[in-house]
Amino acid sequence: MNELKHLKRLSMVKSNTGIKFLTPAVSPGNHCPMRIASVIVEDIEGLSSLLVGMQECTTHSRLFSPKPEGEHGELHWLYVLDSHEVVFGCRDGLIDALRKMDKAGAKAILLIVTCVPELIGEDIEGIIHEVQPELSAPITFVMLGQFKNISYPPGSWKTMEALGRLMDVKERDSNCVNVLGRAPEEEHISMPSLLPALAEKGISLRYIAPGASLTDFQSAPDAALNLVVSPYTQPLAVKMEREFDIPYTALHNLYDVESIDKAYAGLAERFGFSWDDIFEEERQEAIALQNQVKEMVNGLRFVLSTRIDMPIPLSIYLSKLGMEPLLLHLEEYYPEDRINAKELIAMGHNPWICRMVNAEVDLSVLEKLAPDICFGYLWSTNKTIPCVSDMFDFYGQVGYGRTISLLRRILGVLDEIDASRKGGIEHGATSI
Express each pLDDT in 56-66 by its tens digit.
888 888 877 77
Could you tell me the CA-to-CA distances from 99 to 41, 49, 137, 149, 278 in Å, in that order? 20, 13, 9, 29, 53
The confidence score (pLDDT) of residue 422 equals: 65
The confidence score (pLDDT) of residue 164 equals: 96
Per-residue pLDDT, averaged over 36-60, amounts to 92
Give the residue among 225, 213, 251, 126 at the shortest CA–CA distance from 172: 225
Fold of the domain spanning 167-253: Rossmann fold (3.40.50)
Parallel/antiparallel/unpaired status of strands 352-355 and 8-9:
antiparallel
Higher pLDDT, 75 or 59: 75
Amino acid at 291: N
326: pLDDT strictly greater than 80: yes
Q: What is the pLDDT of residues 380-411, one digit of tens each?
A: 888 899 999 878 778 788 999 999 999 999 99
Backbone angles phi, psi at 78, to 5 degrees: -120, 140
The confidence score (pLDDT) of residue 124 equals: 96
74: pLDDT strictly greater than 90: yes
CA torsion through residues 381, 387, 392, 393, sign: positive
Higher pLDDT, 145 or 291: 291
> Which helix (H) or strand (E) segment is 295 a member of?
helix 280-297
Amino acid at 8: K
CA 283 remoteness from chain centre? 26
Domain 2-28+298-398 has CATH 3.40.50.1980: yes
User: How far apart are alpha carbons 270 and 119 in whole angstroms?
Assistant: 46
Average pLDDT, the chain: 91
Q: Of the given ranges (57-61, 86-90, 138-142), which has the lowest mean pLDDT?
A: 57-61
The confidence score (pLDDT) of residue 186 equals: 77
162: pLDDT confidence band, cut at 50, 70 and 90?
very high
425: pLDDT confidence band, cut at 50, 70 and 90?
very low
What percent of the chain is predicted at pLDDT more than 70? 96
315: pLDDT strictly greater than 70: yes
118: pLDDT confidence band, cut at 50, 70 and 90?
very high
Cβ pair 297, 410 in contact under 8 A: yes
Backbone angles phi, psi at 402, to 5 degrees: -65, -40
Q: What are the residue boundaries of the structural domains of the chain, listed by start?
A: 2-28+298-398, 33-149, 167-253
Residue 80 pairs in a beta bridge with: 53
DSSP of 42-110, one letter per residue? HTSBT-EEEEEE-HHHHHHHHHH---SB-TTS-BEEEEE--HHHHHH--HHHHHHHHHHHHHTT-SSEE
324: pLDDT strictly greater than 80: yes
Pick the CATH number of 33-149 from 3.40.50.1980, 3.30.1050.10, 3.40.720.10, 3.30.70.1450: 3.40.50.1980
Q: How far apart are the first and last CA of the chain?
A: 21
90: pLDDT confidence band, cut at 50, 70 and 90?
very high
DSSP state of 21: E
What pTM was estimated for this model as a whole?
0.91
Higher pLDDT, 372 or 58: 372
429: pLDDT strictly greater than 70: no
Q: Let me know if the fold of 33-149 is the same as that of 167-253.
A: yes
